[in-house]
Structures are given as structure tokens and as C-alpha cells.
Amino acid sequence: MATVTLHGNEIHTNGDLPRVGSKAPDFTLTDRDLNDVSLGDWVGKKKLLSIFPSIDTPVCALSTKKFNDYAREHADSVLLMVSADLPFAHKRFCGDEGLDNVLTLSSMRAPEFAANYGVQLEDGPLAGLCARAVLVLDENDNVVHSELVPEIGQEPDYDAALKALG
């Protein structure tokens, strides 16, 4: 179990984020067109997973935009934005913002995703949603960067994540 904060108040996660050097757990999530996709769909590619509470909050929206800007110039990597939001919210947000370089994925059919990745918030006003975290995986799904953002309202360390992505 890890501890993060929301506006300075402690909140606990259900476990720990996968550590650098470990194999990322497989998943099946739902894309914005209601298709199920799994980690294996991007075998052989570097992947960044930006995990967050909701696309409809300022920091989540901002980080999605920043990662989209990076992805525009780096087609060799896949940037996956993961939340419990419905695919319809992801599609609306990306359409409104003109984002087409990141892939948004919903855990609506896979509540085990947050549990398996150790990011499920166990208490506080966002209980049941995901904590903010960034993972970078190599072409074989080994974790090369792992960040659980200590304050949910804080942006992730973009530079460290993007450096790890290469």
C-alpha cells in the first residue's frame, strides 16, 4: 500500500506501482471506440502509461495534452492515457481538444486494472478511481520508469518519463 495526498490529505492506494525492472501486468481495457485492447496489442513498441483519476479534471487534461504533443513527434512509441472515464468522455475530450496522437483507454470493463497496477484509491473523495501515475515500458513490457505522483493535483515528472521513453 502506498500513500498519496489530495490537497494535502492522505489517501491510500491498494498496493504498489510496478517497480523498475519488473514485467508490467497484462490488461484488457476499452478504447474510445468501445474496442477491447490489451498490452500485447503493442508488442515490440515502447509504451508510456499515464494513469489518472479523470480526463475531466484540469491536471489530467493538461497531462494528456502534453503527452499528445510529445507523441506527435515520436511515432515509434505508444502513449496510453488510462482512467475509469467512459470511452464517450475520452472521445469527447480528445475531439474537443484535437488530440489524435495518444490513445485513451477506459477501465470501465476492467476494475482489476487499478488493483493490478497498485493505483486504486482506497479512501478519500476519489475512492475507487486511480491515483496519478506514469509508467514507461520497453518493447518487452519491462518497466523502465515508474512514478506514483505524490499529490494527485500535481503534474507528473514529464522530463523523467519522456527521457525513459527515449
Please write the tens of the pLDDT for every residue from 22-34. 999 999 999 999 9
At residue 166, does pLDDT exceed 90? no
At residue 154, does pLDDT exceed 90? yes
The mean predicted confidence, pLDDT, of the chain is: 95
26 burial via Cβ count (<10 Å: 0-12, 13-18, 19+): exposed
Q: Which helix (H) or strand (E) holds 30?
A: strand 28-31
Of 155, 123, 157, 151, which Cα lies nearest the Cα of 7? 151
Catalytic one among 24, 60, 71, 164?
A: 60
pLDDT of amino acid 74: 85
Across the strands, what pairs with 120? Answer: 130
All domains of the chain in start order, with CATH: 9-165 (3.40.30.10)
Grid coordinates representing 119 are 493505483
Is 130 tagged catalytic?
no
